[in-house]
Chain A
Amino acid sequence: MSGNGGTRVVVAMSGGVDSSVAAALLVEQGYEVIGIMLRLWAEEGTDMTGAPNANRCCAPEAVTDARAIAQMLGIPFYDIHAEAVFKKQVVDSWIDGYARAITPNPCFNCNRSIRFGFLKQRALALGASYLATGHYARVDRAGDDTPYRLLKGRDDKKDQSYVLHVLGQEDLAHAMFPCGNYVKSEIRSLAHKFGLPTAERAESQDLCFLTQGDYRGFLSRQAPEISTPGPVLNQRGEQIGTHEGLPYYTVGQRKGLQVMQKITTAEPMYVLRLDRARNAVIAGPASELGSRRVLVQMAHYCSGRIPEGAIQCTAKVRYKAREATGTLEPQANGSLVFQFDEPQRDATPGQGLVAYFGDEVIGGGVITAVS
């Protein structure tokens, strides 16, 4: 025992290696651990075996695995239905983003409203002091000035602080990320040491609630009304082709752009931006891609305070984008502007801009405009 006895922690379990090791580490550290799995919404339909589709985060095998692991660790385990709240807060607002011609990232709302909303609330209601997840990130509770700081996970390649940048002081006060101090290979050996299954379910790039192919098919089934075919324009406003509906395009995309034959130049064309007012895709050559100035209308800072002046730091514009240097300029109206030193190819309205000072997540928000 390391003095943690009597401190209750709820672990969000997925049946996967990371959250299982997180639970095992907390048990080892003497916490009173409770495992909870959330049942999330997935598009209705059936898989190849005829079984109903399940959200990838809580497929039947995942529930079975998580329950077996909880049993092995000797901790209580509950699976709770969160389909309705997930559909409303995450999926519907994600669809709404496409309807507004942005490229939304549903993981922000999921972490904000489901994990650190719905689930955190239940954890506290159960008398837990903390909600732990298998994310690769860290919480620093040592600072005086800013009580809680969100830090990158120690494993650069697995770091998931990007999707957690939405957390604030009240969330961080109750958050634990036991995997954050380890690199993935260490987590695998820990799983081995604890006798936990180490097989990884196939990682997919797709979103957890997509069960039949990519998001375009999903949108065409679930929200056909948001896609209207329209023109592809060049930067001078001349029509050079047609598109099938703005939701099917994102900045930097080349595939699926039907450019008229006679206009096809030597240079391949890319989506430069989506113009909602004209229902137009604006396309141009790769050399026109990239923006230095990124605007976030409603900025969020993990410290809960707007920084006093501009900060020389780094930022990322997509989960998988490379961090790049620049200047964060907080604005009086609550927005922020990030000036990158070099143009960023993938900066896209709807995705997140997340700013870092070294390992620390300063904050960020949903990108409103780029130029």
Chain B
Amino acid sequence: MQPYFSEVYGNASSMHSFGSAAVAALDEAHHTVACDLGARASEIVFTGCGTESDNLAIRGASLAMWKRGRGQHLIVASAEHHAVAHTFHQLQDLFGFTVTELPVGSDGRVDPDDVRKAIRPDTVLCSVMLANNEVGSFNDIASIGAICRERGVLMHTDAVQAPSTVLLNVNALNVDLLALSAHKFYGPKGVGMLYIREGTAYLSTLTGGGHERGRRPGTVNVAGCVGLAAASKYVAARRDTQAGRLSLLRDKLFAGILADVPDARVSGHAHDRLAGHASFVFKDVDGETLLMALDIEGIAVSTGSACTSGNPEPSEVLVAMGISPNWALGGLRISLGYGTTEDDVDRVIDVLPKCVARIRKTAHVMGSARVVAQP
């Protein structure tokens, strides 16, 4: 993507020849991404991030369907990322939509049968994430998408977590809208992609010029899109071998941690989950403190979702899965990537149990001054 910051600096929406080099690069990027997803280049819309893709898709499809007189009922799973969940909340609170929240099981997954039961004559859109960012579990999007299609309900999936280890095909998945974020598959930060199936009711909630065929007006981040496309090629060539390798490492991590840490559980499904995603809950451990303790040891992890870390409330996702607060506060997610080695995993297996033990040991430390009370 380097040249697009300097030599090929033309604005893709200008007519001059500087501009046309940029247009060519953008066309190519649409094409590359479309190929990987089994889509058409014209169905690919570049955006500013995964959050923007989710927002544009959900709001754009809901409002367009409503305008067509199709109704105002929406369906969303209860363990979604805030980019999705908060968009649904807003449609309900400010725009008159009714939202049905689908429960998730203790493994974090939606039962497709619940989708079938939730659909009403006025249902216009259903959104279920492909892989959960906090607990890694996969949803059966192909089945859910088929149910929705049969009933004339648009289907959106947040697939942000998937591309580095999962081959996505929009036709096999039966989806109309699909969101990605470049930095989740080795691309640059601040670029996203939204797939919009040809013919899908969609109203751009960003208004302005005709960029991205009017579906996402605003000057396009050419270098970023080229970077996203390059990342898409990069993971396409590696995801199968990496998925195999990473799922072995992940299972080793699961076994190592569960063997050495008392009162520890895997959160999410044990194996029907992202290859590079290991998540745990530890009873009576403050997940945030554990995150800091590991960070000091040079091990970067997150407490569930990086976007909500620092929040002293237990994770909404873990709560939705029925995990009790004294376990849910000790949620931890460890991501394994292409660069993760077996040595790295061994190091976590060595260090993490010690950190958990120390946190538990000090959990009841109180100052010696506690005897003083107000009169």
Contact = CB atoms under 8 A, between A and B. Distances in A.
B368 A124 contact: no
A102 B373 CA distance: 14
Which one of B292, B365, B368, B371 has the highest number of Cβ atoms from chain A below 10 Å of its Cβ? B368
B15 interface: no
B46 to A, nearest CB: 32
Interface stretch (B77-85, B249-257, B322-330, B355-363): B355-363
Chain B interface: which size bin?
20 to 34
Contacts of A78: 292, 295
B94 interface: no
B357 to A, nearest CB: 10
A191 B296 CA distance: 26
A108 B288 CA distance: 26
Contact of A117 (B311, B312, B367): B367
A141 B368 CA distance: 17
B282 to A, nearest CB: 13
B289 A112 contact: no
Interface residues of A, number: 46
A366 to B, nearest CB: 5
A90 B363 CA distance: 20
B370 interface: yes
B359 A84 contact: no
Contacts of A76: 292, 295-296
B86 to A, nearest CB: 17
Contacts of B293: 125-127
B316 to A, nearest CB: 16
Contacts of B286: 122, 125
Contact of A112 (B295, B311, B367): B367
Contacts of B367: 112-113, 116-117, 120, 166-168, 170-171
A6 to B, nearest CB: 13
Interface string A286-311: 00000000000111100010000000
Contacts of B295: 76, 78
B375 interface: yes
Contacts of A365: 372
B369 A167 contact: yes
Contacts of B368: 167-171, 304
A367 B375 CA distance: 8
A281 B366 CA distance: 38
Contact of B375 (A80, A82, A121, A297): A297
A291 to B, nearest CB: 16
Given A84-B312, A122-B289, A125-B358, A117 B373 contact: no
Contacts of B312: 81-85
Given A81-B312, A120-B367, A126 B296 contact: yes
A34 B362 contact: no
B279 to A, nearest CB: 21
A93 B372 CA distance: 13
Interface string B108-138: 0000000000000000000000000000000
A70 B293 CA distance: 17
Which one of B288, B289, B295, B358 has the highest number of Cβ atoms from chain A below 10 Å of its Cβ? B289
A76 B300 CA distance: 12
A72 B375 CA distance: 45
B3 interface: no
A81 B365 contact: no
A113 B288 CA distance: 19
Contacts of A79: 310
A113 B371 CA distance: 12
Contact of B296 (A34, A80, A368): A34
A112 B372 contact: yes
Given A112-B370, A120-B365, A365-B372, 9 more contacts: A82-B312, A97-B374, A112-B372, A127-B358, A167-B369, A171-B367, A297-B375, A298-B375, A366-B374
Interface of A: 34, 39, 76, 78-85, 93, 96-97, 100, 102, 104, 108, 112-113, 116-117, 120-122, 124-127, 166-171, 297-300, 304, 349-350, 365-368
17 contacts: A81-B310, A83-B312, A97-B374, A100-B374, A112-B369, A112-B372, A117-B367, A124-B362, A125-B289, A125-B293, A127-B296, A127-B358, A166-B369, A166-B372, A167-B367, A300-B372, A349-B375
- 9 smallest beta-carbon distances between A and B, as pairs: A168-B368, A170-B368, A368-B375, A124-B362, A168-B369, A300-B372, A125-B359, A125-B362, A116-B367
